[in-house]
Structures are given as structure tokens and as C-alpha cells.
Chains A and B, each alone.
Chain A
Amino acid sequence: MAETMWRLPTMSIKTRVALAMAAVLLAGGAFVLAAALGYGRQAARETYDRLLLGAANSIAASITVRDGAAVVDMPVSVFELLALAPDDRIRYRVIGPDGATVTGSAAAPLPEKPGAPVLYDGAFGDEPARYVSLTRRFAERSFSGPVQVIVGQTVRARRELARDIARNAVTVLGMAGAAIAVLAWLALRSALVPLPRIGAALRARDPTDLTPLDLKVPGEVAQLLSPLNDFMARLDRQVTSNRNLIGDAAHQLRTPVAALRAQAQLAADEDDPARRAAIMAKIHARAVSLSRLLDQMLAQAMIIHRTDTEPRALVDLRDIALDVFEDAEATGGGAADLILPDDPVMVRGDSLALGEAGRNLLHNALRHGRPPVRIGVRDDGVLYVRDAGEGPARTDNLGARFVSAGVTGGSGLGLAISRAVAESHGGVLQLGPVDGGFEAALILPGVV
């Protein structure tokens, strides 16, 4: 059992289809065979019953009344008709109104009730036979009453015909089954052609090529190809972001690290303790800045990673704003006001990523803006940070990586992370002057 459970899923599609086809053909074949036998028997019965009836009618028609008695001058055509079943034995019997057999074999069985032509099964010696009985009524001066005619015949020809019909039906069925099997095989082969094609295309690829496979395939196979392409795109994004991270890190770290090295050298060469302390303070400030830069870079890498992997949950933007606000309070980055609506503002998103975006916006405002700084949430799914300043001189490419407004230095990563988060949530990052200040807003699609 375990063996088959294990084997079954690995059975080839062709084998499965072949098994299914065989099952269908066998079941269908059995059904058609039974139907053909039944139909053949029915057809043979009807055919030869008519023959019997014809013979009985011709015997009945040959009865005349002569000298007050029924006389049967049987025509040879009766027997010629019955001889159409060439190998069957024949029995007939004509019974007068008094119940006496006028002519024929007295051994021919009577029907259960005479009258209208009635067909019935009976025996003929030790062979099964089929009989017909009909009645002709006479109303002559010298002779009146019913004369019953019984004609019977063994059933060899019926069986032969029934077998013949069934045999023909089964032959046709067999040929049709073979044709269906061949066609099914061909159809299956052509249906499975895209699979090896996809395999070949993947195998022929450069190992670093993660672009989507552009193959014309049927819809069913596209169900496989499209997730494959999605998967590769995700892989591509992650590889790219990793590459960017490494590149950015190298690029970003080179200058501060070089400066640190130079200042450390200066500090090493400086004998005056006061100047040396000043240099040390600069080194500390640089190190803090470097640390923040590293945090942001890691945060961005994490967020880009999360946007691809984290499932989206329903979150209340007010909770995000509150978290960001409290973080700023705790780290002592500066004073800000928190403005929240009374009702929850639900969006679908990753709370960690949204929090990181909010933190960056608030950090920028506190650092570069003019107090009072406010962080708030609006009902239509907007998290905003506002200050009373004029904002940076240019906002057109702010938010791209390493583009800083350049006032007091900053990596520029903060806005880039915020923008990436907004976009990965299907929203936008909007920067611009508002009435009495400057506002940075994460506008997200709300959930009603």
C-alpha cells in the first residue's frame, strides 16, 4: 500500500491517461457488449416472430369449410417462409372449435390464453422454441366457432442472428476503441510538447538570466509558466537588491571610513589633548552617522525583502503613527505633536515596513525642518509628517537613493526607503509645500 502510495504520484501522465482510457474503454465495451447482445436478441426475436406470425396467418387463411368441417389446405409457402430459418424444426397445429386437433402435431403447447395473436415460449422436445397462436372465427351455416392455429419453431436462427448482430457491434466498437486510443495518444503527445520545451529553454539559459520565459504555451501550461516567471522575477529583485546593497554599502562606506581613518590618523599624530579631544568628538560623530547609515541600509534591504515575502495584514495607521511618535520621544530626536482621528484608519500592509517609513519621514522633519513638527493620520489612509519650514529646495528627485537635499548631510536613504514602502503597498510618497509649511505624506489605498 505504502509502495503504491509512493509510486502513484510519480506515474507518468501518459501512463495515467492510458490507464484511464483503458478503464473507460473496458467499461464502455462491457456496456456496449451487453447492450448489443440485448439489442441483437430483441431484433432477432422481432424478426422471426414476424415470420411465425406470417406463417400462422397463411395457415389460417388456408382453412376452408367443407361439408361441415374445417379443412386445412396448407400452402407450401408456409414452409418456405419458415425455412427462412433454415436449421430450425417446425411444429404447427390447427385446433377445431371442439378442441380436437384438426391437423398438425398434437404435442404443440397451447398458450395460456388464446385469442388475438399471442407469442409465447415453449419447448420442442428438448430444444427451446417460440410459438405463435391465433384464432380464426367461422360463422357458417354448417360450421361455426373459433379455429386456433399454432405455429412454432426452434430458436437456432434467432440465436445465430442475435450473435451476429452482437458480433458486428463489438467489431465496430473494437475498431472505434482502437481509433480513440490512437487519437488520444496523439493528442496527449502534442499536449505535452510544451513541457519539454520549457525544460529545454530553462536548461539553455545563462545561469544569471532571470528574465521571464517568453514562450507561447497553452493556458494549462501557462498556469505553470506564469508562477515560474513570478518566482524568477522575485528572485531577480532580491538578487538585484542584494547587489545594490553591497554596491551601496561599498560606495557609502568608503568616504566616511576614509574620513574616519584620516581623522584617526590626525588624532594619533595630535599631542595637544584639547585638540585631540575635539578630533575624537568628530570621530564619534562620524561613527554615529556611519552607524545610522548602516541601519538605514539594512532597513532598506530588509524592507525590500519583506515587501516580496511578508503576507499583508490589516493594520491601523494610527497604531503605526503612535509607535513612530513614541520611538522619537524615546530616542530624544526632538519634539513633535501627534494628531490622530477618532476612528481607526485601516490599511492592508506590513506594519514593520510602514513604521520604518514613518520613522524616516519624522526623522527628516525633525532634523531638517522647522518646528513645530507634527505627525498625524488622516481618514483616507494617509500618514503625514509636517513642519513649518519651506522644505528642501528641490523635491523632484528626492527619495531616489543617495539623493539628499544636502543641507547638513544625510544619506538620502530615508526617503528612498519611504518611497519604496509606499510603492510596495500600492501607494505613493507625496512631498510638497502645504499651507504654512512642508508635508511628507504616505498615501496608501485604504480599506473600507
Chain B
Amino acid sequence: MRWILALILLTIPAQAQELVKDFGTGPATMTLRSTTDLAVMGPVVADYIALHPDLRVRYEQWGSNDLHDLSVAECAAGKGGADLVISSAVHQMVHLVNEGCARPHRSALTASLPSALRWRDELWGVTEEPAVMVYNRDLVPADDVPASRFDLLDLLRPADSPYVGRIATYDIEASGLGYLLAFADSLEATTFGGLMESFGRSGAIATCCSAEIIDAVVRGEYLIAYNVLGSYALARAAEEPRVGVVAPADYTLVLSRAAMIPRSAAAPQAAADLVDFLLSQAGRAALKRALLIVPLEEEAGAPDLPDSVASIRRPIELTPALLLALDAQKRALFGARWRASFPPKVQQ
């Protein structure tokens, strides 16, 4: 048994975190692994450290799939290096909790979360980030700016549409987040089938990573990017006037990055305190400043919105239904459909 575990540990792929930074200099340490860019999440952690000067938080930035694989392996081995894991690939987090890899934590703050953002007192949704459409303000005429998926479909319908080949979205095979958003879309509405078909016909581009996609939109390479996480889009829009952001009016997916305390955490209490901080007034204020909480209801900094906000908000709920997204066969079927619309092509 022991050597099997050792073997498992040895076979953990030699992944590496993308970035590491220590916050604070206190004697007590904890490790936070997150898929969120260090630049975005860093100030939030710094705010927390300001309240807890005795603490040193080691922040590791990971890719979602690598983080998931590492967490699964560590869970099976019964030991691991993280005290708190926060990932945008919430289906993977639900899977980890479902496998019994998490440790429960209950407090007044976790109890105040809506049930859609809390599962088994082991998984908590700490952010609110809408999935938006990003467009180039210079190149897309105001009349063409799509307010909804239907508008997007209409833009792509004409055979001589100028948007053919100029629409981009996440490559679901390369991005866990992209797969999650596409999967959530497929559950949400029948529009998605039409959209995929339309993307395929108009030669839309599936590519990787929020930052790259938005950069390409700014350069004018793509005119519109579909299903980009609002936090990145709004951050770029704040400094780059050419970036326009729209929350789809038919419905807007809202992603809550999920936080979980691994069963093997060495400092579970510190992790629980950090979770409570993220759910507290101060923590939420810090997350808002980091644009990790985008209040669709507010005017300032919010994307262009229709009037009836509440009805278009579709939180991606932290429920076992997300396990379906990880089902091997479902994934294969979904991937095959996707691939039919986005045949592999050479990256530009």
C-alpha cells in the first residue's frame, strides 16, 4: 500500500506552478493555490495580510487542469501542500469535494452564502464574475454591438458578414474555464447548438486564454470575443478605451470561483479564516476592487446592461450536477461536437 502511494506521488506529472509569491513575514504560514492571476488576486491577499501581520501566505498561481490533477493526486496520497485551493474551474472543485478531498468549515459567513454558492460546507463560491462579450469599439459600429446571443447569431448570418473569421472564443480543450462556460451554456439554452453551428460555419476561432483573446481584440485581429470572463475584460477596459464589454441580455452566466480547504491541509484554521475574510465585507470590497466581484446591479464599472438584471443572471451553481461536466463520455461527446464546429487549425 505504502509503495503504491509512493508510486502515485512519483507519477504526479512534473507540473509546476506558473508563479509564486509570499505575502507577509509572520511566523505562521499557509499556502494558497489559485488559478487566478497573481496580479489580480495579489492585492486581496495583501489586504488580508494587513489584518493578520503574524501570517505569511504563500501564493501559487496554477493552470486549472494542472491544479486539479495535483489536488486529486495529493488527495489520494493523503498529504499535500495546499491549505486553500481557489479555482475558476468549479466543476473540478465539485469533483474534488465529491471525492471527499475537502474539509468542512462552518461559520456565520459561510452560512450567509446562498445555497447555490455553497456545497456540503466544504465548497464556497467567493467571487462573482459574469461571462461577457468583448468587442473592439473602433471596429464594431455601435449598431452592430450585440446585446445578446441572438444579435450575435444575426451578425453571423449573412454570407458576406464582415465578422466571418473574426469571432473568437475559448478553446475548450485547452482551457478548463472555457469548457466549463461552454458546458454551462449547453445546459442553459438551446441557443447554444445554433451558436456552435453558426461559429463553425463562419469560421470562428477557438483559442486560448483571456489575456491573449482580449489583446487580439484590441489589435483588431478579432472583432468580438464570446464568453470572456468579465474580470479580465473589465480590467482591460479600464485602461484600454478600445475594449467594449457587453453582458448578454438573454442570459449572463455568472461564475463564482470556488474555494476549498483540502483534507490534507496543514493549516486548516488559517485557511478557514481566509475563507471567512473573502466572504466578509472587507474581503468582498477587496474582491470588488480586484474586479473579481462584478456587481451586475451597479452602474459604475458595470458592463452595458439591459434593465431586468435579475432575470438574466445565471449563476453557475456549485452542485453535484457539475460532475456531469467531468464525465468522460460526456466530455468526449461534447468535445466531438465542438471539434466539428472548430476544426483544428494552425494558431495565428
Residues of A in contact with B (beta carbons under 8 Å apart): 71-74, 76, 78-80, 82-83, 86-91, 102-104, 124-127
Contact = CB atoms under 8 A, between A and B. Distances in A.
Contact of A125 (B99, B319, B324, B327): B99
Interface of B: 97-100, 115, 119-121, 187, 319-321, 323-324, 327-330, 333
8 contacts: A72-B327, A72-B329, A72-B330, A74-B327, A82-B320, A89-B320, A91-B98, A126-B100
Nearest to A77: B321
Contact of B319 (A86, A103, A127): A86
Contact of B329 (A73, A80, A83): A73
A60 to B, nearest CB: 14
A103 B328 contact: yes
A83 B119 CA distance: 11
B320 A83 contact: yes
A80 B328 contact: no
B115 A86 contact: yes
Contact of A74 (B98, B100, B324): B324
A269 B121 CA distance: 133
B100 A76 contact: no
A76 B321 contact: yes
A159 to B, nearest CB: 14
A90 B100 contact: no
Nearest to B186: A76
Given A71-B329, A73-B330, A90 B320 contact: yes
Given A76-B187, A125-B99, A126-B100, A102 B319 contact: no
Contacts of A102: 329
Interface of B is mostly: helix
A89 B98 contact: yes
A103 B331 CA distance: 11
Contacts of A72: 327, 329-330
Nearest to B328: A103
Given A71-B333, A74-B327, 10 more contacts: A73-B329, A76-B187, A76-B324, A83-B319, A89-B120, A90-B98, A103-B327, A103-B329, A104-B328, A125-B99
Contact of B100 (A78, A83, A89): A89
Nearest to A66: B333
Contacts of A89: 97-100, 120, 320
Q: Which 3 A-B pairs have the closest CB atoms?
A: A125-B100, A79-B321, A103-B329
A90 B100 CA distance: 10
A441 B100 CA distance: 110
B96 to A, nearest CB: 11
A79 B91 CA distance: 13
Contacts of A103: 327-330
A124 B99 CA distance: 8
Q: For A71, A78, A82, A89, which residue has the most chain B Cβ atoms within 10 angstroms? A: A89
A71 B99 CA distance: 24
Nearest to B321: A79
A72 B97 CA distance: 24
Contacts of A90: 98, 320, 323
A73 B324 contact: no
Contacts of A76: 187, 321, 324
B100 A79 contact: no
Contact of B333 (A73, A82, A87): A73
Contact of B321 (A73, A83, A124, A127): A83
A79 B119 contact: no
Contacts of A127: 100
B242 to A, nearest CB: 39
B320 A79 contact: yes
A90 B115 CA distance: 18
Contacts of A83: 319-321
Nearest to A72: B329
A67 B99 CA distance: 32
A89 to B, nearest CB: 5
A88 B97 CA distance: 10
A80 B323 CA distance: 11
Contact of A79 (B99, B319, B328): B319
A80 B187 CA distance: 12
Contacts of B115: 86
Contacts of B330: 72-74, 103
A95 B99 CA distance: 20
B323 A79 contact: yes
Given A79-B319, A79-B323, A124-B100, A87 B329 contact: no
Contacts of A104: 327-328
Contacts of A79: 319-321, 323-324
A71 B333 CA distance: 9
A104 B331 CA distance: 12
A76 B100 CA distance: 22
Contacts of A88: 320
A257 to B, nearest CB: 111
A382 to B, nearest CB: 102
A448 B185 CA distance: 109
A172 B69 CA distance: 52
Nearest to A101: B328
Contacts of B321: 76, 79-80, 83
